[in-house]
Structure 1
Amino acid sequence: MKLLVTGGAGFIGSAVVRQAIAAGHEVVNLDALTYAACLDNVASVADHPGYAFEHADIRDRTALDRVFATHRPDAVMHLAAESHVDRSIDGPGSFIETNVMGTFHLLEAARAYWTAQGKPESFRFHHISTDEVFGSLGPEGQFTESTPYDPRSPYSASKAGSDHLVRAWSETYGLPVVLTNCSNNYGPYHFPEKLIPVVILNALAGKPLPIYGDGSNVRDWLYVEDHAEALLLVVQQGAVGRSYNIGGENERTNLQLVQTLCAILDDRRPRAEGSYADLTTFVTDRPGHDARYAIDPTRIREELGWRPSVTVEEGLARTVDWYLVNEPWWRALQARQGVGERLGVSA
C-alpha cells in the first residue's frame, strides 16, 4: 500500500512513517517543515527505497495536485496540523488557516485525484483528529464516537471544523473517508513544548516543573507507537465513513503524571540532593483549560481488535530513557521560536 502521510516529520506523523515502512508499505511524507517538524524524526527510514519526501504545504493546492499526480497514493493519512493549545490562544489565525483551510485544500486535491482514477473503492482518506473536539468531561463518563462536539479552544475548534469538512466531503461527494480521534499522545520525538518533555527537560536542567492550576486536570495518555499501530490498522480495515476513538486507557491527573516522571528520573539520574519532585511549581491555569478527557475505545476494540499495549508507567519510562540518550535532538529544538516560553496567557 502506498500512503501519502501529511505532517510526517512531526511527532505522531513520524511514528506513522517509521511504522509504515517497517510494515512494508510505501510512504510519501508531505510536510511543510514548520517549527514543530524535524526531519531527524524520520532519519532512520530516509534512505529506504519505499520512502519519499515532499516539502510542501497542505494550503498549496498546486503542490498537492503535483504530489498526487507524481506518487499516485492508495490512501491519504492526514496528520498535518497546528496542534499546541497554548499557541492557538496567542495566535489562532494560523490554526484556522492550516487545520481548516489546509484540510479543505487537501480534500479537494484528494477528490480530484480519486475522481481522475475512476473513483476506486479501495482509496481511503484517513483524517486524524483529537478528543479535544468533544470538550470537557466531569468526573464520570467517557467520549464515544457519538459524543456531541463542544470545542473550547481555538485549536480544538479548528480541528472540529476539519472533522466536519471531512464528513461533508464523504456525504456530498462520496469520498471514501475514515476518521479517528485520539487522546493525548506521548513518547520519543515529542516536541519539547508539550507537558511531558517540558517536565523531563526542566527537571534535568534544575528548573521549576510548571503545572497549570492545581494539577487536577485529567488526561488519557496514549503511547505514540500504540497510536501509530492503530492508525495503520484503521486506514486498512476501518469501515468507510466510520470514525474510531483511540484511547490509551491510562487516565492520570497532570500532578500524578509529573510525580511519576520525577520518580523515574530519581531512579535513572538522581539529583545531588532531594527529589526532582521538589521542583514542582503550580502556575496560573491557561484560559479554557478542559477539566478531563477520557476515551471509550470500545468500537475500535470490538470492530478492529485493537487495544493499547503500553501502560503509562512503562511508556513514561521508555520516554525518559529516550530523552536521556538523545540530547542532541532536543537541544536543537529548544532553540526554536517560543520553545521554553510560557504561551497562551494573552486571553
Structure 2
Amino acid sequence: MRILLTGSSGWLGRYLSLRLRADGHDVTGLDVAPGIDTQVVGSVADRALVDRVFADHGIEAVIHGAALHKPDIVRYPRQAFVDVNVTGTLNLLEAAVAHKASRFLFTSTTSLMISSAIREAKGDAAVWIDESLAPLEPRNVYGVTKLAAEQLCRLIHAEHGLPVLILRTGRFFPEDDDTHLTLGGENMKANELLHRRLTVEDAAEAHVVALEKAPETGFGTFILSAPTPFAREDVAALKSNAPAVIARYFPDAAALYAARGWRLPASIDRIYDASHAERVLGFRCRTGFAEVLAAMREGAPLPVAHDASYTSPKEY
C-alpha cells in the first residue's frame, strides 16, 4: 500500500516507518524536519503541498501523526496549534477524499480527555477513563485542537464514508515530564505503565493493526495504553494507598523497586482502559508493568525508553 506518514521524523514516525516498510508498504514521509524516513519536507498546513504529495506519490492511505504537542505550548503561539493540528488535519482529510484514499488513521492523544478537575486529582477515587468519558474538557490548546481535529475526522467520515480510526495514545515519548520531577525518568515511566503509558514499539504496532482494520471498522476512537492490571473496584484504594493495591497484583514489586532505590506511586489519580482496542481491533500492548518487573528479576534491560535530553527534531 502507498502510505503517507506525517510526522515521519518524530519519535513515533521513525519506529512506524520502519515497521510499515518491513510489511512491504511504500511509505512517503512528510515532516517539517528532515530525517532518514522523510521524503518530503514541509507542513501539513500547506494545502498545496499536501495535494502535490497525494498526486505525485499515488497515496492510498494516510497515517497522520504530525502535530504540535504539549511541550510546544511554551514555544509556539496558539494560532500555530490551530494551523497544524486543525487546518493540517482538514487538509489531509479532504485530500484523502479527493484522491480516493482507502483509509485514514489519526494519531490523537489521551491528553484531550484530561480536564483541569482530573488533572488536579481532588476526588477521593482514581478516574477510570475509557472512550465513554464525557463531557471532554481539554485543559490547554494542545488538547482543544486535537479534539477539534477528531471532530473533523468524524465529520469527513460521516459525509464521505472515508474509513477513519482515531488512536488516542497514552504517553510514549522518552523525555522527562515537565510537571513530574520528583522521580527519576525510568522510575516514573515504569510506574506509568500501570495506568497511563505504552512503549513506542507498541504504539507503532497499534497503528499497523489499525491500518489493516480500518476499512471493516469504518470509524472508531480507541485509547492506546498498556493494559492496566487494575479493576474498576480498585479506584478508591488506588487513590488512597496505591502501593497496597499494587502489592495484591505484584507481591514482589516493592522489594524489586527498593533494590533499585525506586518508589512506587503513593497515589494513582487516573487509569486508562484500553480494552476497547483489544475487543474491536484485536490489539493489546505487549509491554506493561509486569514486563518491567520481569526485566528487574532477570537483570535484563528495562523495556522502557528514557532520554531526558530528547528534543523533537523540528526544534533542531
TM-score w.r.t. the length of structure 1 is: 0.65
Q: Name the residue aligned to 1:53.
A: 39
How far residue 295 of structure 1 moved from its aligned partner, in angstroms, is 2.0
Q: Name the residue aligned to 1:311.
A: 288
Q: Name the residue aligned to 2:272.
A: 295
Q: How has the CA–CA distance of structure 1 residues 245 and 276 changed in structure 2, closer, same or farther, with 3 Å as cutoff?
A: closer
How far residue 14 of structure 1 moved from its aligned partner, in angstroms, is 1.8
Q: Where in structure 2 are the equivalents of 1:66-77 lying within 5 Å?
A: 66-77=52-63
Assess if the C-alpha contact under 8 Å between 2:228 and 2:272 holds in 1. Answer: no
Q: Where in structure 2 are the equivalents of 1:61-100 lying within 5 Å?
A: 61-85=47-71, 87=73, 91-100=77-86
- Structure 2 residue identity aligned to 1:133: L
Of 217, 225, 228, the match for 1:247: 225
Q: Name the residue aligned to 1:230.
A: 206
SS in structure 2 of the partner of residue 5 of structure 1:
strand
Give me the whole-angstrom Cα distance separating, in 1, the residues matched to 2:277 and 2:203: 12
Give me the whole-angstrom Cα distance separating, in 1, the residues matched to 2:4 and 2:313: 30
SS in structure 2 of the partner of residue 294 of structure 1:
strand
Q: RMSD value over aligned CA atoms?
A: 4.0
Q: Where in structure 2 are the equivalents of 1:12-31 lying within 5 Å?
A: 12-31=12-31
Q: Name the residue aligned to 1:161.
A: 148
SS in structure 1 of the partner of residue 86 of structure 2:
helix
Q: How has the CA–CA distance of structure 1 residues 113 and 133 changed in structure 2, closer, same or farther, with 3 Å as cutoff?
A: same
Q: How has the CA–CA distance of structure 1 residues 335 and 110 changed in structure 2, closer, same or farther, with 3 Å as cutoff?
A: closer
Give me the whole-angstrom Cα distance separating, in 2, the residues matched to 1:296 and 1:104: 29
Give me the whole-angstrom Cα distance separating, in 1, the residues matched to 2:285 and 2:13: 18
- Structure 2 residue identity aligned to 1:235: L
Of 133, 153, 156, the match for 2:112: 133
Unpaired runs of 5+ residues, structure 2, are 230-237, 244-252, 296-300
Give me the whole-angstrom Cα distance separating, in 1, the residues matched to 2:158 and 2:131: 17
SS in structure 2 of the partner of residue 95 of structure 1:
helix
Q: Name the residue aligned to 1:286.
A: none
How far residue 250 of structure 1 moved from its aligned partner, in angstroms, is 5.0
- Structure 2 residue identity aligned to 1:220: R
Q: Name the residue aligned to 1:117.
A: none
Assess if the C-alpha contact under 8 Å between 1:85 and 1:153 holds in 2. Answer: no
SS in structure 2 of the partner of residue 317 of structure 1:
coil
SS in structure 2 of the partner of residue 181 of structure 1:
strand
Give me the whole-angstrom Cα distance separating, in 1, the residues matched to 2:220 and 2:159: 15
How far residue 92 of structure 1 moved from its aligned partner, in angstroms, is 2.4
TM-score w.r.t. the length of structure 2 is: 0.71
Aligned pairs, number: 269
Give me the whole-angstrom Cα distance separating, in 2, the residues matched to 1:168 and 1:110: 14
Q: How has the CA–CA distance of structure 1 residues 56 and 193 changed in structure 2, closer, same or farther, with 3 Å as cutoff?
A: farther
Q: Name the residue aligned to 1:271.
A: none
